[in-house]
Amino acid sequence: MPTASPRPRPTLRDVAATAGVSKSLVSLALRGDPGVSESTRDRILAVAEQVGYRPSLSARTLKQGRSMLLGVVISSLENPYQTEIVASVEDAAEQVGLSVVLAHGSRDRGRLADRVQQLGDLGVDGLVVVSSWVPDEVLTAAARRLPVVMVGRTADPVAGVDSVTNDDEQGAALVVDHLVGRGYERIAHVTSSTRPAGLARRRGYEDAMRRAGLGDHVRVAAPDAVDGLLDDGYRAVFARNDVEACDVLDRALDRGLRVPDDVAVVGYDDTLLARRVRPALTTVQQQREVMGERAVALLTGRLGGRTDDVHEVLEPRLVVRASG
């Protein structure tokens, strides 16, 4: 049986013919020109919806000199913090007429560098990078071609690249101050990271412990060393992120410990995981919605002609729940 030919894609001409108006009036109405009356615009929009008309991306690119695409590169799809950042970027991008193209690199520097290059070659208008694994020289090269905004922390600011980040040292200090206020002294920090954000959280933890007079109890361990911490009498654990905090919860519960009665557990990021596990996780909230909004705002500022580098640091907030 012969395959039916696909229906041709509706055009501006089809909308104009159905609405009984000129093609130029349809074009003005669809782009929100103030010279088109509200009633006429509503009628044309209704007809466009009826016939299934969608603007051609390639046509808009040729006409406006822009792709109206925003590239987003993340380290991995596994960490809910990064996927939630993507969602906030996409929401903010939609408000300014941009669509998001997502790429991830599985924490592989070479693959991430390739993704940055590929999105640039695709012709995106700008790039949001949510990964400290992208080499600085790759960010610098990309910023020569298009606006680049880093969400999260790099070791040092990269020339030509804007950034939005969380004050990770302050966030860690909030955790320690909270636990000390609840009477804990033997507070350990669990981390598997040597990346800039992880190192900043470690510094914040160590400095806050010393300020509290608990320098002798400073203990930093890998996630697979939790049993040793508990065996040594540590009864509060601050994990680098919510994923690792959930691993600590699992290990404590496997040992028959009650959380928080026997051991308090605190995470970082306030992802969906923190609200779904039981007991619900006390954690540090990064302003993900604000981070996405500011990243898109910085990018559009660059598109508008701004040339100076902007580095914004947002204040974290401790969200106290049942785990500690």
Domain positions in the chain: 12-55, 67-166+288-315, 168-285
**What token pair was written down for 123?**
């012709």
* pLDDT tens sequence across 234-277: 999 999 999 999 999 999 999 999 999 999 999 999 999 999 99
- The answer to whether residue 30 scores a pLDDT higher than 80 is no
- Cis peptide leading into residue 135 (ω within 30°): no
List the CATH code of the domain at 168-285.
3.40.50.2300
| 228: Cβ contacts below 8 Å, ≥ 6 apart | 221
* pLDDT tens sequence across 270-314: 999 999 999 999 999 999 899 999 999 999 999 999 999 999 999
Of 236, 250, 217, nearest in space to 282 by CA: 236
| 312: Cβ contacts below 8 Å, ≥ 6 apart | 163, 164, 165, 294, 298
What is the rounded average pLDDT for all residues in the chain? 91
Whether 168-285 and 67-166+288-315 are alike in CATH topology: the answer is: yes
Superfamily name and number for 67-166+288-315: Response regulator (3.40.50.2300)
Q: What percent of the chain has pLDDT over 90?
A: 71
Q: Where residue 63 falls among pLDDT bands split at 50, 70, 90?
A: low
Considering the entire predicted model, what is its pTM? 0.81
Domain 12-55 in this protein, CATH class: mainly alpha
